[in-house]
Amino acid sequence: MRRLLGDLTLIERKHEAMAEKLERTHLAGSARASEDETSRRLLVLQVVQPALAGLIDGSISTLARSCWAGCWCFWQASSSEAVE
């Protein structure tokens, strides 16, 4: 298993080196700018947006519990005043 992973790592390094060589040889300036923009968009869609969605989801869950507790306390206070 370890040998297989080592072989895969070696193949991936060769692939990256070939991709960098082809990029330097064939990618023009405007195409490079387009590639950079696409890379930035992918980062936002794959990393930033899911992280923000998780943060918002956690915040809403926390706020919902706090809001519910506050409403419940208010309701208890209101109903005890109505009884008196």
User: In terms of pTM, does the model score above 0.85?
Assistant: no
Work out how many domains the chain is built from and give that number: 1
pLDDT digits (tens), the chain, 84 positions: 889 899 999 999 999 999 889 888 887 778 888 888 888 888 888 888 888 887 777 766 666 667 777 777 777 777 665 555
Question: Look-up: residue for tokens 């298993």?
Answer: 1
Of 26, 23, 2, nearest to 10 by C-alpha is: 2
Question: Look-up: residue for tokens 């923000």?
Answer: 52
pLDDT score, position 15: 93
pLDDT score, position 44: 83
Spatial distance between the Cα atoms of 59 and 69, rounded to a whole number of angstroms:
15
Asked whether 47 and 55 are in contact (CB, 8 A), the reply is no
Q: Which domain holds residue 43?
A: 2-83
